[in-house]
Amino acid sequence: MTDTETRPTFNVQGWADFWAAPDMSQGQDVLAEDIVGYWPGDHEPVRGLPAYAAKMADLLAAYPDIRLELVDSATVPANAADEELVFLHYVGQGTGPAGPFEFRGLDRVRTRDGIVVENVVRYDPSELP
């Protein structure tokens, strides 16, 4: 990246675009190297960009046609002056071993200077076959 280029920042439209056609070669430039991710059913958070990307790749490998459609979102300031919290409510659809499925989820994304440093993912894992 040169001085005239700026690093992309996380935004709701970018999230929606990613999940309309997930592609692991896209979107990682808005994630911090030390990102922390919390997924339902995991006893420990995923720490660091390589582990976070692997978790996402595993999800996409298990459900290659998964798509998330944004229902609603809200952005609020966090405790630190350079942080924001973005809440994303979505409906997911895809196909698993038992056939088509649908689920609702909520992500709480913490950004610092526009870069994702934490993602808390909540959905009912029993709804994904």
- Map out the domains of the chain as residue ranges: 31-124
pLDDT (mean) for 77-95: 92
**Residue 101, pLDDT score:** 95
User: Strand (E) positions, 1-129?
Assistant: 31-38, 46-47, 67-77, 83-96, 99-112, 115-123
Say which CATH topology domain 31-124 has: Nuclear Transport Factor 2; Chain: A, (3.10.450)
**Residue 2, pLDDT score:** 46
**Residue 3, pLDDT score:** 43
Helix H or strand E segment including 97: none
Question: Can you tell me the distance from the alpha carbon of 76 to that of 46, in angstroms, rounded to the nearest whole number?
Answer: 24
**Residue 5, pLDDT score:** 65
**Residue 7, pLDDT score:** 82
**Residue 4, pLDDT score:** 45
SS3 93: strand
Question: Can you tell me the distance from the alpha carbon of 84 to that of 105, in angstroms, rounded to the nearest whole number?
Answer: 20
The reported pTM is 0.90
